[in-house]
Structure 1
Amino acid sequence: MAEAAIAWDTYSQQRPDRRLVNARGETTWFNWTQYSDHGPGVELLRAPDGALVLDLGCGRGGNAAHLAAIGMRAVGVDISPRQLEAARARWGDMPDLELLQADALDFLHRPGPLFDAVYSVYGALWFSDPAQMLPAIRDRIRPGGTMVFSQRPPVEGCYGCQASYIPRGDDQDPAVVKRWDYEPDVWVDLLKVHGYTDVLARVLPAPPGPKTVGTLIVQAWR
């Protein structure tokens, strides 16, 4: 856990802060993609008012803060102390938002409540073995609840466990973390094997502009 926390602390130093307002002038918002003001929003969670929702790999907490702002109870879990320090500095006084430092899989295995929805935005689900993570998530979702995640689509021909490299400076080797990349139809099969139903997986195209990499978005129900 210590090495992973260091890697994600390093990553956090390379990422800009979330803007104070988005293009619509909102101070909180939900974003599934790597592009600003692009793609669907919180409706993908299919979560009712007052729902208890879990963010796996919450980073600086912007998505979880939006859920709390619109009347849900949000729990954000991240392994990086630096990420959570930034999240608490910006959102720490918000009611109905709980931010916890933990390895996502360890957290899921602890005794605790069932969630109405569990999600991961370029987060812990991408960087965890799905053979362990998918059943652990399912065990913490109430019957009829939702699991949604987003991440970059796989590079053609590069599937399964891959290496991601996080630069650490000219005098240090990069930090290495594992990620799991599959095409949409493979994710559908994996989720069904682990007991999920009504699985939907698609690649949302990038917005118009020079960048062309879309966003893989997967929804499933327990």
Structure 2
Amino acid sequence: MDDAALNEQAWTTYGKHHIERGTCLSEPERLDWGFWSTGPGAEVLGDLAGKRMLDIGPGTGRYPAHLARSHKAIVDAVEVSPTQYLRATTRYGDVPGVHFVQADAVEFLQRETAPVYDVAYSVHGLGYIDPHQLLAALAPRVREGGSLVFSVLHTNKDGAGPEVTVAPRDEVLPLAGGGELVVRMWVLSPLLWEDLLVEGGFLLEHISVLRAPEPSNPVACTLIVARRSSSAEGE
């Protein structure tokens, strides 16, 4: 099974698990790029009122709904897992300004009918997709000067840091109540992400590592803010 199929299967199982458990998450008060309510929030995305946005891997749909309600954004939220899509549309399907799409993100972006966005973002979703494929498909769908903002895993719970080659590795997706699933993730160094972004037609504006508030917790995330380069900048 290839990486994309394995990840889709894992997240479909994950969503089914939570549907059967009746898991109901609280409404977010802010956008959290890490796993904790620390660090920057939606302000790194800029003024979103009326902006056309793409959410890559929205999961339960909490964040696109929050951005539409609180920031007046217009969001296409593309989720590959049918069960996560079901969770999102069941709870947020009638929120004005949000359009949920059940599709592979790369395949969606390659459609002739795919829009051009002012802002593309992803909270932990982008690390499950081959960055070469995703950035090549995404660049033509972000307007020149538009933003790409995303967070990805930097260090896992075992303290394993980012890789120095562009290759996925096995990571664990825990299930509430016990059990775990294996996923494949691109856990890359900030330097590699910068190289990939430039290669893909983006300019890096800011990169930071968001660490857990407890010193004993090794988990950390990388937050990346980039801009779609113009034709002149790419010359």
Fold equivalence (TM over 0.5): yes
Flag structure 2 segments of 5+ consecutive residues without an equivalent.
229-235
Residue pair 2:203, 2:226 contacting (<8 A) in 1 also = yes
**Residue by residue, what CA displacement relative to the aligned partner does 1:170-200 show, whole Å, maximum 9, x if unpaired?**
xx9x754321111112211221122211432
Q: Give the ranges of 4+ consecutive aligned residues of structure 1 lying more than 6 Å apart after TM superposition.
A: none
- Give the AA of the match of 1:56: I
Residue pair 1:10, 1:166 contacting (<8 A) in 2 also = no
TM-score, L = length of structure 2: 0.80
| Distance of aligned partners of 1:85 and 1:184 in 2 relative to their CA distance in 1, 3 Å threshold | same
In 1: Cα distance, 2:5 partner to 2:162 partner: 32
- Give the AA of the match of 2:104: D
Residue pair 1:192, 1:199 contacting (<8 A) in 2 also = no
- Residue 99 (structure 1) aligns with: 100
- Residue 185 (structure 1) aligns with: 191
Residue pair 1:199, 1:219 contacting (<8 A) in 2 also = yes
- Residue 46 (structure 2) aligns with: 46
In 2: Cα distance, 1:72 partner to 1:167 partner: 32
TM-score, L = length of structure 1: 0.84
- Residue 163 (structure 1) aligns with: 170
| Distance of aligned partners of 1:45 and 1:51 in 2 relative to their CA distance in 1, 3 Å threshold | same
Q: Secondary structure at the match of 1:76?
A: strand
Structure 1 residue 162, shift from structure 2 partner? 0.8
Number of aligned positions between the proteins: 210
In 1: Cα distance, 2:80 partner to 2:115 partner: 20
Q: Secondary structure at the match of 1:182?
A: coil
Q: Which residue among 93, 116, 119 is the counterpart of 2:118?
A: 116
Question: Relative to total residues, which structure has the larger helix share, 1 or 2?
Answer: 2
- Residue 78 (structure 1) aligns with: 79
Flag structure 1 segments of 5+ consecutive residues without an equivalent.
none
Q: CA RMSD for the aligned pairs? A: 2.5
In 2: Cα distance, 1:6 partner to 1:212 partner: 28
In 1: Cα distance, 2:184 partner to 2:224 partner: 20
